[in-house]
Amino acid sequence: MTIPVRFGQVFGLGIDLGMASRAFQLPVSYRVDSTGFAIDVRPFAVGLTVLSVLALFLLSGQMLNLLGIPYDATGGSPLFKIHPASYLSVLALMAWVVVDGGLGAFLGRSWRDSPGLMVLFLAIGLLAFQVIFVQKTPISQVTDNFVLTACLFAGLLRLNPGELRLVALLVQGILALNSLLGYAEGLSGFRLTPLYVNGELLSWEWRATALLGHPLMNAMTTALCLVSLALGAGPFRTGPRLALVVFHFGALFFFGGRTAIVLSAAALFAIAAVTGARLLLGRRFPLPVAAAAILAATLLVIGSILVVDGGLVDRLIGRFINDDGSAMARVAMLSIFRDMSWPEVVFGPDVLAVKAMLPRIGTPVAIESAYIGFVAYYGGFVTLFFLMGLAAFFAELVRRFGAPVLLPLGIYFLISTAVSSFSTKSLELALLTTLIITAFACRPQPPERSSPC
């Protein structure tokens, strides 16, 4: 007698997805005529996907270092150099492969539903070959930048509407808490995660670190969040969305990202101008929306007065006037190619030699442009093909969620030209992908259209 045990039913999860296509057969015999157990893997896949999102947003590199895990610090096992979210997302991907019915079925579904994701996987394979076999450098950078991003994309899009809405609420709640910590740190001087560069504590740094660690990471993610909310994305009605837009925009001044502040302000102005033009052309709007807009504008004025009175504007203007040589470093970084031969520029130089050049050209930490840095680290040939794969992935996001996604993607592109971003080990792409999927998949739709959330 065969007793197929569905774990979802046994533990009261109420999940019944079909024995044939959604279960993993384990050859565990407990009787002579038994064929084994049937285990419903989908709850594990969902749980691992949610855990990977939580680890991504709650465990920054600075937080891991503070907990004693040498993620960004020198020394320690190479296994500690890979972010916990990457491990969890790979495990989640393996579970989703089982849920889809095997590797062949998973690849077939992915190619049919998300061709841009498959192109990104091919680009990751090329980059991994360059890193492992040609340059013989650690794989952690490829894993945290790109494997994590691709795995999260595959996992999040396999969630049902209720599960995706839950993840969207978690992400928005964490980012609201992150902005609140930004206010608290900026006003009190307390730092949740002290900022270190090359092992040296930056005691003079006034910018908030909050949950996401580095101030620029906070600024970029907060800017993308508030612009997405201003476009109507997110699992909220209009009133809470507008309040969050104002709240997040105020937090940007405590994170101190100049590019993020300017681009966010320009995007909000453009969105407000388009909305105002539509109203002038006779578009109707609900009274609660008007009340929420007036309240948001009032809060923005009050917040601006408090910011000016607290002296934060003076510090921020000081960053625009005196950038500690950041602008000169972005010009000087081009000279890194001067000491390379043409084969090195095309096919990739010695990474250790490139890092040794950085202090000499005035960029001791990293090359402050993702695209220049990618060429310098991996060579023009690999960079060209990888950026084509990344462009296909971004096109997949636009195809799935529509033209409004172009605005946050464009902001990310402009910010990444001025910071190291994915040319060094970073979680930015994974944060961007998770934020866009959870926000735009759960945006409210008109009554005649159905929303996935």
User: Domain spans of the chain?
Assistant: 7-40, 43-440
| 350 SS3 class | coil
Q: What integer pLDDT is reported at residue 12 of this predicted model?
A: 35
DSSP for 279-331, written as a single string: HHTT----HHHHHHHHHHHHHHHHHHHHHHHTTHHHHHHHHHH--TTHHHHHH
Q: Taking 90 as the threshold, does the pLDDT of residue 397 lie above it?
A: yes
Q: Which amino acid is at 258?
A: R
Q: Give the separation between CA 352 and CA 323, rounded to whole angstroms.
A: 28
Q: What integer pLDDT is reported at residue 210 of this predicted model?
A: 93
Q: What integer pLDDT is reported at residue 277 of this predicted model?
A: 80
Residue bearing tokens 């060579």: 379
Q: In sequence order, which residues have a C-beta less than 8 Å from that of residue 427 and are 6 or more positions away? A: 56, 60, 61, 83, 85, 144, 145, 148, 217
pLDDT band at 307 (very low <50, low <70, confident <90, very high): low
Whole-angstrom CA distances from 267 to 24, 36, 347, 406 are 48, 58, 38, 12
Least confident of 29-33, 215-219, 280-284, 393-397: 29-33
Q: Give the separation between CA 302 and CA 427, rounded to whole angstroms.
A: 34
Are 346 and 379 in contact, with CB atoms under 8 Å apart? yes
- As a whole number, mean pLDDT of residues 189-200 equals 78
Q: Are strands 200-201 and 37-40 parallel, antiparallel or unpaired?
A: unpaired
pLDDT band at 53 (very low <50, low <70, confident <90, very high): very high
Q: What integer pLDDT is reported at residue 10 of this predicted model?
A: 35
Least confident of 159-168, 350-359, 436-445: 350-359
Q: Give the separation between CA 198 and CA 126, rounded to whole angstroms.
A: 30
Q: What integer pLDDT is reported at residue 302 of this predicted model?
A: 61
Across the chain, mean pLDDT equals 81
Are 186 and 73 in contact, with CB atoms under 8 Å apart? no
Q: Taking 90 as the threshold, does the pLDDT of residue 297 lie above it?
A: no
Buried b (16+ CB within 10 A) or exposed e, 53-65: bbbbbbbbbbbbb
Q: What integer pLDDT is reported at residue 259 of this predicted model?
A: 87
Residue bearing tokens 């993020």: 260
pLDDT digit string, tens, across residues 377-394: 899 999 999 999 999 999
Q: Give the separation between CA 29 and CA 35, rounded to whole angstroms.
A: 6
| 206 SS3 class | coil
- As a whole number, mean pLDDT of residues 305-312 equals 54
Residue bearing tokens 């928005």: 172
Least confident of 78-87, 238-247, 333-342, 401-410: 333-342
Percent helix, strand and coil across the chain, each to the nearest 5: 70, 5, 30
Q: Which amino acid is at 176?
A: A
Dihedral (C-alpha) 437, 262, 222, 215: value to the nearest 10 degrees? Answer: 130
Q: Is the pTM of this model over 0.85?
A: no
pLDDT band at 298 (very low <50, low <70, confident <90, very high): low
38 - beta bridge partners? 25
Are 423 and 358 in contact, with CB atoms under 8 Å apart? no
pLDDT band at 14 (very low <50, low <70, confident <90, very high): very low
pLDDT band at 9 (very low <50, low <70, confident <90, very high): very low
Least confident of 44-48, 161-165, 194-198, 350-354: 194-198
